[in-house]
Amino acid sequence: MPTFDPRSTALILIDLQDGIVAGDKGPHSAAAVVAAGKTLADRFRAQGAPVVLVHVGFTAGAMPSLNVDQPRLPAEGTPPAFSVLVEGLRQDGDIVVLKHHWGAFTGTDLDLHLRRRGVETVVIAGIATNFGVESTARTAWELSYDVVIVEDACTSRSSDLHDFAIRHILPQIARVVSVETVTLG
């Protein structure tokens, strides 16, 4: 695995927030993913590379269509506490993006933040692998970023959902790595 240039690489952590980390996850626990996210964030900050913390909130005025076969969102939106980033994650200088969809680019200024900083490579981790992480990775790839997914810093609602994205989707648009192999220098 190559060493990433901190001048052109950003870390994007997806939905490490109170309303998402609750509940069963697989194959990695939410606590393990949060710990891995904090480790990566510390590594990026130490090298002066951007750290982007993305969280999601759904409100009646900013919500995707609920006209679907299996709606999971409450019609009234999510309570404010749902969107609170996990304790100890945010540090001064981090970029914080509030999204209202699965992916971090749709309807946000994330691309602008990255382009202004000269970012060419995005390292993505978080919850859920096959929802927010995959959606963000797909759009990043479509926007011509080099995409890196940190497998052991991601998880989903089940091991099957995580594994499908990691084995069959993400390798076609990204490099899939582990926390220990992410090196900046």
Per-residue pLDDT reduced to its tens digit, 29-48: 999 999 999 999 999 999 99
Residue range 42-71: average pLDDT?
Answer: 89
Say what the pTM is: 0.95
**Residue 82: closest CA among 129, 20, 29, 13:** 20
Query: Which tokens belong to 65?
Result: 């269509």
Asked, as a colleague might, if the bond just before 27 is cis with ω within 30 of 0, I would say: yes
Using alpha carbons only, give the angle 152, 140, 176 rounded to the nearest 5 degrees.
25
Euclidean distance between CA atoms 171 and 141, whole angstroms = 11
For the ranges 72-76, 95-99, 144-148, which has the lowest average pLDDT? 72-76
The answer to whether the beta carbons of residues 87 and 21 sit under 8 Å apart is: no
User: CA 97, 52, 147, 117 torsion: positive or negative?
Assistant: positive
Domains and CATH numbers, the chain: 3-59+82-184 (3.40.50.850)
Query: Taking the chain, what is the end-to-end CA distance rounded to the nearest angstrom?
Result: 13
**Residue 11: closest CA among 164, 179, 158:** 179
Round the CA-based radius of gyration of the chain to a whole number and report it: 15
Query: Predicted confidence band at 150 (pLDDT cuts at 50, 70, 90)?
Result: very high
The answer to whether the beta carbons of residues 56 and 99 sit under 8 Å apart is: yes
pLDDT for the residue numbered 78: 83
